Amino acid sequence: MLERASTCLESGGRQLLRAPKPCLPSRRKLHSAFWHHGASDLSLPLWWAINPANNSSTDQPAASSSDGAPLDFLYPEKSLALLRKLSVRGETVPEARRRQLQPSAARSYVTIRRIKPTAGVAELEAREDAVDAAEAKDAKREMHERLQRSSAQEALDELLRRREPGKQELAWQLYVALPDHGPSTATPALRLSLLEYLVADDEPAVPTRVIKIFHAIPDPSHTASSYRAAIIAYVALREIGPAINLHREAAREGRFNPHEHDVVDIGTDVLLRRLVSDEQWELAMRVFRAYITEHRFSINGQRTLYRIRWGEATLPEIWNEAAQLAEIKEHVQSLLLYIRQNKDELMSTPRKRAVTYTFVQSFLPHVMDRVLQVRKPNEDNIWNWFIKLFDDLHTHSLPVDASYNYAITAMLKLDRYRRYTNKRKLHLELYRRYRQWYLYDRVDDPHFKTRPPQLPMLSGILNSHGTHGSLHRVNDVVNDIRAFYPGNPLPLNILQALMLTYAEHGEVERVREYFDEYRASHGTVEHKQANSLIYVQARRANIPGAVAAFRHVSEELGLTPDIQMWNTLLLTYVRADDLDGALETFNNALDAGMEPNVHTFGPMLDMCANRGDIEAFEALFSRGKQMGVALDTDVRARSGYVQAFLNAEDAEGAEDIAQDMLKQWRAGMLTGHPLTHTWNIMIQYHALRGDVANSRRLYREMVDNKIPLDNITFGSLMRSLVEIKQANAAYKILRVTLPANNMRVEAIHYAIVMTGFLKEGQYDLALEAYERMVERGVSQTVSSRQASINTVGMSELVRLLKAKNRNPQQQLRHVERILRDMLASGDVGRDLAHRQPSHNRYIDAQTQSAVPPSYYGLLITLYNTRGAYEICKDLVAKAETDQDSSAYDAPITFLTAIMESHYRAKEWDEVAKCWNLALSSASKLVKTFQQVMNPAPDPPESPSLTDGTVIQRFEESRIALNRRQVLTKATRIYVRSLINREDPDGTLLKRAQLTIRDLLVNGFVLDNFTWNEFVVALAEKSQLLTAFTVAETYLMPRFPGWRNLAPFYVRHDRKGYQWMELRHYDIKRNSVLPRYKTLVVLAKAFGSVKEDERNGLGYIEKESKWARELLELKAPMVCKAVETMPRTNDALQERYFGTERIMGDR
């Protein structure tokens, strides 16, 4: 009876010994159909009734009773055969490798005959296994070859020493061929080595041989590896009972573990894999208990149980094999079902409860790894499995803290969970449940102290939120840490992460708060922590703040600035676009004995690239290489070279450099970032020019060359669509394409779309995009806030226009409310701390103090369109009050808006003051390295704009082409203020001419309106020669000529360019050519000159020519254009010629 009970327990049939639960007998009688199984009527062939496991060959034992179906006598023969075919469970054993399978003969209610369990070595010897005939023949042939060169002992020793794969049959043949009475004379050492070799792949071809050799070794000579080999053999034979007995014997009293941290393999992993596969959970827990209490942690088992409960140990050495089972997720559900059915017994004593908990908590992490680490993950299935798992753990009242901690930590180690995604985030859902359980739903165990969520896991979540800019969630995690660990200071690594995260986003107060907390709790401050005080100012482009923090670190904290601090200070000047300060800081760092690195030269190279200064870039790059800095292999440093060529308007040279970089990247010669940024700046270059074809071509190159795409790539494509007035297509990319590609929609994308809709006059769609951005809580930048002000302002202006409200004092309440919210929502300096590209076409001052005035400047511009000069004055005063006194330079856009207000109010002195400030700010923005080293000479004394020196100085200017236009609008307003007022002696006109000359000499360009209005002013104030020569030099080279007029061909003229041979695509933003009004005024003046000549007036004795002849000599294209002008008698011609031309025509 005891033997039957033992075998019943070993086979997992413990429930058979239990008494049935008391219940009322059912009065229902079984229907007769129950005894007539439907499967017996199946028309099945005869071979279905044959048991495939039962075979008459001598090398195959009969199937044991455990293979039969329960209550099999109730089934017809054909039905029973069908069930056997369809109910195969467990691991399939390759029949070619294993010829004898002997499951343990547990008692069950089946009618198949039973086999007596194996008795020992004698029976094993009598039951020699059959091997593959071809393999045995090859082994014998090779054995004879080796025996010709050496003895069997030497050949076997050599084979075991070299451990040649796949030679197990040869090793056995050599073992059998040993001289002096064969294998019986082999030493224990030889047998141990042979055992390890026969089970090298954990799947012996002939398990009985392994068992024979194991029993032939004396017990004192057994090692852990020999026990493992024997357990593998018994498991291969499906003899679980002997395998468990051997495991218990090997694990007894930690015989192979002299130290607690030793991990000696005795075959626990193989045994647990078999038991988990067969779902024999009681036996699996017995093996687990023997392992953790007697073998692995025999020295301090109680503390080890706590380590497993706290998630500090997961025992991978015993669970890795089981975790590789194909149906491991189904086995987990079976385990939970077993625990639910046997909960009373498993929780009956503290010891059993601890074993059950640690069994589950050490097993589940490996199953989680198996679920997470797949080649093609299905996130929906993963989500459902984890949610159901933890729901079941909560339902069964099993501890979940270690499982939650491991699952979240494992997910944060995977790239796909660290990257941005617009889908639901499993690790955050698990953390929410973990937090809810610990703070509110936890029921403490009196025998075990539950630890709070572990700090490494909390640090990982905090870093994940910080990387994606979710600062409100970062703050929530900090509050959770303080709630989990009340009274304890924040750990060092978390404080460091918080300082870096908030510094990245320009949060000065937060950085100072955590820096002070670090000093209070940890005492000494290192360079890494102190650098955050400088870095937060660098992200805000706040030079005074960075300089003050740098001095605070060196003077008050007593730290000598290291190279990282110098690099951070240098980054501040570069982000503020202060060339003088950057050069001074760079030289000071070298003088202080700092050894520069990539982060030292990187910002300087970026500054050269942004200014289009190719020569300075090459010189600085060469200097870095001479100093041993690896700039050749750094992608970002090399991409600056591409940027420099693009800003110098050499797109072909930039693409050649990019292609060379691509070749080197494929060859593994470049390191660091991928080539995404390099291609993005090239796409952006063509996008700004509305060149969709080239933008698309570069995008296809990225896809073909497998260069990773990002949201800035799609933003550049959106910009190209906006430039050709396809804002709706750009909006579709924002709404559909970016989410479909799992990319974040940022403020720059909304700014592009809103600007595009405003440009096309679709104010309702622009307002819709703005509301969408606000609704989704997108982090704002300077570009997005400016686009928001323009969108709401223009929408409100359109509303007032439709309502026919022409009151100039009408307040734009909505846009003013937006501006107040922007300024009151917090520190506006954070708008500069982002890493998104700027949407502004032209460069402007980038200091922190320039942010609020730039917003005021847009509002002032909106009010200027309605002539609300009093409101503009109030806004100017408020902007000057809010502006920081430590500001370096006011933004040019703000100064331009103020200039326009003063111009409309005819406050000429104020216009001049603003012009001087704008000129000073622009001179710093366009300064090049050469101008710093070699200041430009004084302008020529001649005021003539057509002087060769002026033209030569303009062409040789080193200003980047993308920075020459920074003063175009301010110049237009200032020149208008000089030429559009009373000037009896011509002093103001001369000042305007000198201003234009100085701008040209310094490399600045003027827009088309300024040139034409200046020429008109010269012509109207009788400076005809200057007017004609200026028009000839600067306007006429791009004059398209007059078109042929056909009476029945109606064509829409471009406004301001009537009757010219122009199409809409010929007029660019930077086009400079004569306007129709300019040519009409010049025609009027030229006609007057010819009239004077006919009357004998206008002879110039100094030139010995008539004025007409001199004009034709100096400005032939102008004279030809005015003489061939079509006579259409339009409004402009009527205004300047009146009836005079009509009479002349007659």
Give yes or no for residue 19 having a pLDDT over 50: no
The 3-state secondary structure of 1095-1146, one letter per residue: CCCCEECCCCEEHHHHHHHHCHHHHHHHHCCCCCCCHHHHHHHCHHHHHHHC
Give yes or no for residue 1051 having a pLDDT over 70: yes
pLDDT tens across 1099-1139, in order? 888 888 888 899 999 999 999 999 999 988 888 888 888 75
C-alpha–C-alpha distance, residues 171 and 755, integer Å: 80
C-alpha–C-alpha distance, residues 487 and 659, integer Å: 58
Residue 93 has a pLDDT of 43
DSSP string over 259-289:
STT-----SHHHHHHHHHHHT-HHHHHHHHH
C-alpha–C-alpha distance, residues 111 and 108, integer Å: 9
Instruction: Look at residue 156 and give its three-state secondary structure.
Output: helix
The 3-state secondary structure of 431-469, one letter per residue: HHHHHHHHHHHCCCECCECCCCCCHHHHHHHHHHHHHCC
Query: Which residues make Cβ contacts (< 8 Å) with residue 389, sequence separation at least 6?
Result: 332, 364, 403
pLDDT tens across 1061-1083, in order? 888 777 877 889 999 999 999 99
pLDDT tens across 537-552, in order? 999 888 999 999 999 9
Give yes or no for residue 429 having a pLDDT over 50: yes
Give yes or no for residue 597 having a pLDDT over 80: yes
C-alpha–C-alpha distance, residues 1003 and 27, integer Å: 106
Q: What is the mean predicted confidence (pLDDT) over 327-352?
A: 91
Residue 176 has a pLDDT of 76
Give yes or no for residue 58 having a pLDDT over 60: no
Residue 535 has a pLDDT of 95
Q: What is the mean predicted confidence (pLDDT) over 890-909?
A: 83
Residue 70 has a pLDDT of 57
Give yes or no for residue 465 having a pLDDT over 70: yes
Of the listed ranges 495-499, 698-702, 800-804, the one predicted with least confidence: 800-804
Question: Under a CB-based contact definition with an 8 Å cutoff, are residues 783 and 750 in contact?
Answer: no
Element (H, E) at 588: helix 579-591
Q: What is the mean predicted confidence (pLDDT) over 387-407?
A: 93
Residue 181 has a pLDDT of 45
Mean pLDDT of the chain: 80
Residue 188 has a pLDDT of 76
Of the listed ranges 168-177, 405-414, 519-528, 1085-1094, the one predicted with least confidence: 168-177
Q: What is the mean predicted confidence (pLDDT) over 836-854?
A: 63
Question: Under a CB-based contact definition with an 8 Å cutoff, are residues 207 and 172 in contact?
Answer: no
Give yes or no for residue 14 having a pLDDT over 60: no
Q: What is the mean predicted confidence (pLDDT) over 213-236?
A: 84
C-alpha–C-alpha distance, residues 578 and 849, integer Å: 14
Give yes or no for residue 718 having a pLDDT over 60: yes
Residue 766 has a pLDDT of 93
Confidence class of residue 871 from pLDDT cuts 50, 70 and 90? low
Confidence class of residue 459 from pLDDT cuts 50, 70 and 90? very high
C-alpha–C-alpha distance, residues 176 and 185, integer Å: 11
Query: Which residues make Cβ contacts (< 8 Å) with residue 866, sequence separation at least 6?
Result: 797, 800, 808, 810
Residue 47 has a pLDDT of 36
Residue 39 has a pLDDT of 42
| Crossing angle of helices 635-647 and 676-688, rounded to 10° | 10
Give yes or no for residue 34 having a pLDDT over 80: no
Question: Under a CB-based contact definition with an 8 Å cutoff, are residues 105 and 65 in contact?
Answer: yes
Give yes or no for residue 51 having a pLDDT over 60: no
Question: Under a CB-based contact definition with an 8 Å cutoff, are residues 287 and 271 in contact?
Answer: yes
Give yes or no for residue 974 having a pLDDT over 70: yes
Q: What is the mean predicted confidence (pLDDT) over 10-32?
A: 44
C-alpha–C-alpha distance, residues 646 and 685, integer Å: 7
Strands annotated E in 871-1007? none
C-alpha–C-alpha distance, residues 670 and 664, integer Å: 6
C-alpha–C-alpha distance, residues 729 and 699, integer Å: 16
Q: Of all residues in the chain, what percent carry a pLDDT higher than 90? A: 39
Residue 851 has a pLDDT of 54
pLDDT tens across 672-694, in order? 789 999 999 999 999 988 899 99
Q: What is the mean predicted confidence (pLDDT) over 403-419?
A: 93
C-alpha–C-alpha distance, residues 713 and 687, integer Å: 11
Q: What is the mean predicted confidence (pLDDT) over 785-794?
A: 85
Query: What CA dihedral angle connects 719, 724, 729 and 735, to 10 degrees?
Result: 30
Give yes or no for residue 1047 having a pLDDT over 90: no
pLDDT tens across 741-773, in order? 999 999 999 999 999 999 999 999 999 999 999
Give yes or no for residue 1140 having a pLDDT over 80: no
